[in-house]
Amino acid sequence: MPAPATQFADRMRTMRPSTIREILKVTAQPEIISFAGGLPAPELFPVAAVRAAADRVLTEQGPAALQYGPSEGVPALRQWIAEEMQARGIRARADDVLVTNGSQQVLDLVGKILLNPGDVVLTENPTYLAAIQAFQTLQARFVPVPTDAEGLIPEAVPELIRRHRPKFLYTIPTFQNPTGITLTPERRARLAQIAAQHGLPVIEDDPYGKLRYRGAEIPPIKHWDEADRVLYVSTFSKTIAPGLRLGWVLAPAEFFNQLLIVKQAADLHTSSFDQRVAHAYLTDNDQTAHLQTIRQAYGERFGIMDEALTAELPAGYTWTRPEGGMFLWVTGPRELDGLALLQRAVENKVAFVPGRDFFPGDAGANYLRLNYSNSTPERIREGVRRLGRLCRG
Ligand SMILES: Cc1ncc(COP(=O)(O)O)c(C=O)c1O
């Protein structure tokens, strides 16, 4: 007799495997030029400096670095993060910083402390695919906030609050994933004000804010957060390396205490060793110079992709021109089927992510997300040439 089928939890019925992860398996082949993954440029990882930092940590604090540590995070790293955020115009104390296993973990923890099945989350439309997945695991419902070329429209939020009673708003206001769009300072201030008026928690996810290659710096929404409604989330994945899996959330005390409880239940704490290595690396090396190198490379790569798209894509295609980050967003003619194009693209050894999966709500299929940080200038030109040929049909 066959064994009875495994009874998985109800929530697994709503979960779908990520198209991006599936595509990345194929695009790992070196002959494929991939604009698909959200990967930083590996040749810019500070490998020698991280090696030296790891060596110093093991020499000077070996047993402590290999021991269990506090769930909040290593104090010296929390202090470094708080000071860095102060420099960006945020009121931050080390006590309000929770160090996490990448910023992705914050999304899971925030969802756990705020969402019951069926609860509503307000998001941009499109938004970060893995945020949809994190909140979907908790059986959230998504309500998109209307957006335009300057990001989400704050004036639309009060009506959505009234109609849907959302638990929180999730936003990536700077060099958004997937569109590259940045919310204006006026809208940031307005959003913070609306959040305060309505008591709406705002999750500000900011992995790319420090990757600006042109234009003037804009403070995070958290800068305008007089009422302690904003949880600011960031990461070392794009400024040091994602393999360290180090992120953090700056959370008002009310949220911090709850987050700490679920963090302990999830994994006790983030790697003591990695946190100490990151701290040693950050204090021993000139961060301004390192960031400048990354910004310059990404700015150059964006410029090359923009130029190549202008030369190769036919009429009917438009794309965003972000001032930082790692992605741009192509809108094709209404009849374009991004997934079908991807299949032909992979046969022609070039890849991207079709836009459909980034929409929690309904949307057309005529969008593509292109990553420019992870390919050399030559491969960007060649990849866009191949893509252009397919788009011209
Ligand atoms: C918007 C956004 N949030 C969060 C993450 C997760 O990053 P990590 O967990 O590496 O910090 C990413 C990664 O690409 C992202 O694009």
Q: Tens digit of pLDDT for each residue in 152-197? A: 999 999 999 999 999 999 999 999 999 999 999 999 999 999 999 9
Residue 25 has pLDDT above 80, yes or no: no
Give residue-wise pLDDT tens across range 127-162: 999 999 999 999 999 999 999 999 999 999 999 999
> What's the Rg (C-alpha) of the chain?
21
The verdict on the CB of residue 237 being under 6 Å from ligand 1 is yes
DSSP H/E element including 246: strand 246-250
**Can you name the CATH fold of 12-46+288-391?**
Aspartate Aminotransferase, domain 1 (3.90.1150)
Stretch 348-367: mean pLDDT, rounded?
89
Candidate of 237, 248, 267 to mutate for ligand 1, largest count of ligand atoms within 8 Å of Cβ: 237
Give residue-wise pLDDT tens across range 262-285: 999 999 999 999 999 999 999 999
Compute, in angstroms, the gap from residue 7 CA to the centroid of ligand 1.
Answer: 31
Residues 104, 236: Cα–Cα separation, whole Å: 12
Compute, in angstroms, the gap from residue 5 CA to the centroid of ligand 1.
Answer: 35
Two tokens, residue 271: 């790697």
Residue 21 has pLDDT above 80, yes or no: no
Statement: 67-284 belongs to CATH 3.30.70.20: no
166: nearest Cα among 141, 186, 147:
141
Q: Which of 36-45, 290-299, 324-333, 353-362 is predicted least confidently?
A: 353-362
Q: Indicate whether this model's pTM tops 0.85.
A: yes
Domains of the chain, by residue range, sit at: 12-46+288-391, 67-284
Q: Which atom number of ligand 1 is nearest to the Cα of residue 234? A: 11
Residue 29: pLDDT band by 50, 70, 90 thresholds? confident
DSSP character for 305?
A: H
Taking the CA atoms of 357, 36, 307 and 332 in sequence, report the sign of the dihedral they define.
Answer: negative
Compute, in angstroms, the gap from residue 60 CA to the centroid of ligand 1.
Answer: 32
